[in-house]
Amino acid sequence: MSTANTMPATSIRYGTRHDAASTEHALPYLERPADVAPKDAREISKLFFARLTELEEGTREYQYARNTLIELNLSLVRYAAGRFRNRADQMEDIVQVGTIGLIKAIDRFELTREVEFATFAVPYIVGEIKRFFRDTSWAVHVPRRLQELRIDLARASDDLSQRLDRAPTTAELAEHLGLEEEEVIEGVVAGNGYTAGSIDFPSDDSSDSSAPLSDRLGAPDAGLETAENVQALKPLLRELDDRERQILQMRFGDEMTQAEIGAELGVTQMHVSRLLSRITGRLRDGLLVVE
């Protein structure tokens, strides 16, 4: 079957806007990916996912492929957001956080799973929206600009933590987002208004003690939480393939660095970072209780 039979009737040519190389591995250039019909988008997405696994993260073609996949599949976000039509006043925020879920699904999807991307992505999108409703309880009025900045900071921190193998500094977050350090600090401070209350504030009761409530609560048994997590992880670990389990063992069991793992597996440190992000993200999402 020729490639043309699977392409929609829209403006397409092979090679990116900047690449006139041979078409053997080139991706189709789509003028308006978001306008492609969902049925056609599914077929085109398979081409982009297959190519994405061959590209080096951070390259121009990698960014083009990833960004096009996001635009091609925005209809999944609109579909998931439709489940929350009773929150029409928050629909802009719902679509925004749903898109974050779509991006996470794109970064973690593998064609070898032999499952349709839509089936794989919708739980990520819906889960991100539900977490948004569960977590967004602002104690004080915070401008929308700072609310959006908080989301951007959370995404950037997650990306940089995987890439750097440590928590990013304020300067690194600022450079990653193209902001001034003062703006990053402002976003972090604004995040303090993101919860309805804090057990670290002095308790407001009839006692004479001004100690915060946290000082008067019993400490949780860390051993119990660890045991619960281990039990919950067992079925999730069984779903991983041998290579993924090997990578986890080397990283968290043998405490190898990403560079050492890359040397062992014959891949780049950047590729190891992407694999770890995908694997740990899948495990983390599996541990979350979906309401």
Beta-carbon neighbour count of residue 246 at 10 Å? Answer: 15
Residue 206 domain flag:
no
Residue 5 has pLDDT above 50, yes or no: no
- CATH code: domain of residue 159: 1.10.10.10
Residue 49 domain flag:
no
Residues 291, 134 contacting (CB under 8 angstroms): yes
List of E strands, the chain: 12-14, 28-30
* Same domain assignment for residues 189 and 237: no
Mean pLDDT of 239-266: 85
How much is the pLDDT for 68?
Answer: 92
Higher pLDDT, residue 22 or 256: 256
**Last residue of a domain, which of 195, 211, 241?**
195
Residue 11 has pLDDT above 90, yes or no: no
Higher pLDDT, residue 77 or 143: 77
Residue 102 has pLDDT above 90, yes or no: yes
Residue 281 domain flag:
yes
Residue 29 bridge partners (DSSP): 13
Range of the domain at 236: 232-287
How much is the pLDDT for 219?
Answer: 42
Beta-carbon neighbour count of residue 272 at 10 Å? Answer: 25
- For residue 103, give Cα distances in angstroms to 128, 131, 252: 11, 16, 26
Residue 5 domain flag:
no
Residue 128 domain flag:
no
* Euclidean distance between CA atoms 213 and 204, whole angstroms: 9
* Same domain assignment for residues 144 and 190: yes
Quote the number of domains for the chain: 2
Range with top average pLDDT, 186-190, 246-250, 286-290: 246-250
Higher pLDDT, residue 175 or 226: 175
Residue 191 domain flag:
yes
Q: pLDDT tens-digit profile of 202-236?
A: 444 444 444 544 444 444 444 434 444 555 566 77
Least confident range of 191-195, 221-225, 239-243: 221-225
- For residue 110, give Cα distances in angstroms to 50, 84, 137, 203, 240: 9, 28, 35, 50, 12
Higher pLDDT, residue 32 or 228: 32
* Euclidean distance between CA atoms 21 and 35, whole angstroms: 26
Residue 226 domain flag:
no
Amino acid in position 193: G
Residues 8, 40 contacting (CB under 8 angstroms): yes
Residue 250 domain flag:
yes
**Last residue of a domain, which of 175, 195, 215?**
195
Q: pLDDT tens-digit profile of 42-57?
A: 889 999 999 888 888 8
Q: pLDDT tens-digit profile of 121-174?
A: 888 898 888 888 776 654 445 566 777 787 888 888 888 888 888 888 888 888
- CATH code: domain of residue 241: 1.20.140.160
* Euclidean distance between CA atoms 109 and 112, whole angstroms: 9
- For residue 246, give Cα distances in angstroms to 17, 198, 234, 250, 284: 39, 41, 15, 6, 18
